[in-house]
Amino acid sequence: MTLRRTLLATAALAACALIAGPAAAQSAPKLKVGLMLPYTGTYAALGNAIENGFRLYVSEQGGKLGGREVEFFKVDDESDPAKATDNVNKLVKRDQVDVLVGTVHSGVAMAMAKVAKETNTLLVVPNAGADAVTGPLCGPNIVRSSFSNWQPGYAMGEVVAKKGHKKVVTITWKYAAGDESVKGFKEAFEKSGGQVVKDLSLPFPNVEFQALLTEIAATKPDAVFTFFAGAGAVKFVKDYAAAGLKKNIPLYGSGFLTDGTLEAQGADADGILTALHYGDSLNTPRDNAFRLAYAKTYKLQPDVYAVQGYDAGQILGTGLAAVKGDVSKKAEFAAAVQKAKIDSPRGPFTISKAGNPVQDFYLRQVSGKENKVIGVASKALADPARGCKAS
Ligand code: PHB
């Protein structure tokens, strides 16, 4: 009985295929895109902005990338590295996605990159700066639309040295993003004769800054350099001002400190200088068009995370167009991406052999709830890609 049913079903399917004809037989299967992002916790707003940006690009392409209609699968990674491998396997093994897009947190992204390598799955990283992703973990199936942690830190180190500051205290969360931002900063700052006199940190995502702010006040450095982002950055900037430090010891940061956060930080952020690959006042036709489309679609202003999500879509679209949607062609995908000039709202950029953007870092100053671009801190800055065999 069961065998008979199966035979009948098979015959029916075959008949359907004949009736539907060659057009149906040729239509490409959907492209399964797995979004692994934080939708809860201190980085929730960042995850949402990335998804918005990515979806905006896909919808501008009529819902298709590489000729295939995009179908989304989602996992909230909670910015929790302990759950990261299980979470990424939900997308790779359970949902069998063709492409992974994620994530925000460096520790989670490293776990994603390891699974992507083991399973040879395409991975586009739309934020996390973990140096290892485009360092020892680099490969033709891994590309980043954002930055390496080293990049904005290094750009800011040069700026702070040029300002004439000699002794600096750093303060950040104790994990890859904080450590590597500080390392990049130190490399540039100390090369120019400055000295980092103290590195302060607290575990991610803690926001009990008081004891550390007291230590900064006692150390009396010329300036402070920091990496914080999301909700933690909002609280840090407010606490720094409330502790009375803002007027005496200038605060510098990689630009995440003040991106997507200015409404909540209010006047406490005014005047802060940061370096980042995006700003609010670029006023180029490309950026203006993007900002208008984003604001119309989401009734929100975009930030750097929205741009990175949008550009993750652009990079994926570029690579998949070259392989006609065939995700198995990793080497051809990578070659196309590395040849391309990505027409980003941030300004055009290229992708290195290690898979990381080579891009300008703007010097920005907070004014009137905007990160105003006041110069270029570092032009066409390339990550050193230490440990990447492809570079
Ligand atoms: C990171 O963990 O790599 C990270 C998180 C938030 C940012 C930037 C980098 O804004």
In tens digits, the chain (391 residues) has pLDDT values of 344 444 444 444 444 444 444 544 568 899 999 999 999 999 999 999 999 999 999 999 999 999 999 999 999 999 999 999 999 999 999 999 999 999 999 999 999 999 999 999 999 999 999 999 999 999 999 999 999 999 999 999 999 999 999 999 999 999 999 999 999 999 999 999 999 999 999 999 999 999 999 999 999 999 999 999 999 999 999 999 999 999 999 999 999 999 999 999 999 999 999 999 999 999 999 999 999 999 999 999 999 999 999 999 999 999 999 999 999 999 999 999 999 999 999 999 999 999 999 999 999 999 999 999 999 999 999 999 999 998 7
Please give the number of the atom of ligand 1 that sits closest to the Cα of 107. 2
Question: Rounded to the nearest whole angstrom, what is the distance from the C-alpha of residue 32 to the centroid of ligand 1?
Answer: 25
Angstrom distance (rounded) from CA 330 to CA 312 = 16
Residue 49 near residue 302 (C-beta atoms within 8 A): yes
| Pocket lining: 106 vs ligand 1, CB cutoff 6 Å | yes
Alpha carbon distance, N-terminus to C-terminus of the chain: 61
279 lines ligand 1 (CB under 6 A): no
In order of 3, 207, 225, 342, 357, the CA distances from 347 in angstroms are 61, 34, 26, 8, 12
Assess contact for 101 and 124: CB atoms under 8 A: yes
User: Does residue 304 line the site of ligand 1, with CB under 6 A?
Assistant: no
CA–CA separation, 326 and 99 (whole Å): 11
